[in-house]
A and B are shown apart, each in its own frame.
Chain A
């Protein structure tokens, strides 16, 4: 059974710092991995999608990497801003027919960027 873990559970940093959020998964048989942002009481906003054949994806100040064989992904945020404060979730989609229909989520990292 696929399990997704995110470390740290919470992170507080001063504005301007570069930071790394970690996501690990137990089953390397995945189709893709997706990073989301969730603001308090809101839905999820998709940030980056990495296919299983890719090593990384970039969007603006965000860079996500994927090492499928070791079951790890990282989300790198450059020059953090107070507006980046949110919960960041990673989710994997399984590659077997009986698991490919759904996303398995980690419990998220709550990020606070202090002005």
Chain B
């Protein structure tokens, strides 16, 4: 049973470009979470999605950031017009969603975004 998969593992973008980060949850998991880890800091919650629904996006910047989890395919975190401050590690986690929100979350390896 494969774990949470993220790609790419490393992504380099120039200021003003778009970054697309992908996350495939563990098999059988229907809940996806995105977190951001800035250098030398802990992880900060960004957004929580279920299939075709954004449940909680309170941690996501209002501008330039968006997320989706379509019926088919991976979850996508999209950052438009990237700036240097977006450089960070972005982690995706998934949970089965069997116990409401009190679920163990399993994390992917992360995507390290560098904005030049």
To the question of whether A and B form a pair in one complex, the answer is no
A residues in contact (CB < 8 Å) with B: none
B residues in contact (CB < 8 Å) with A: none
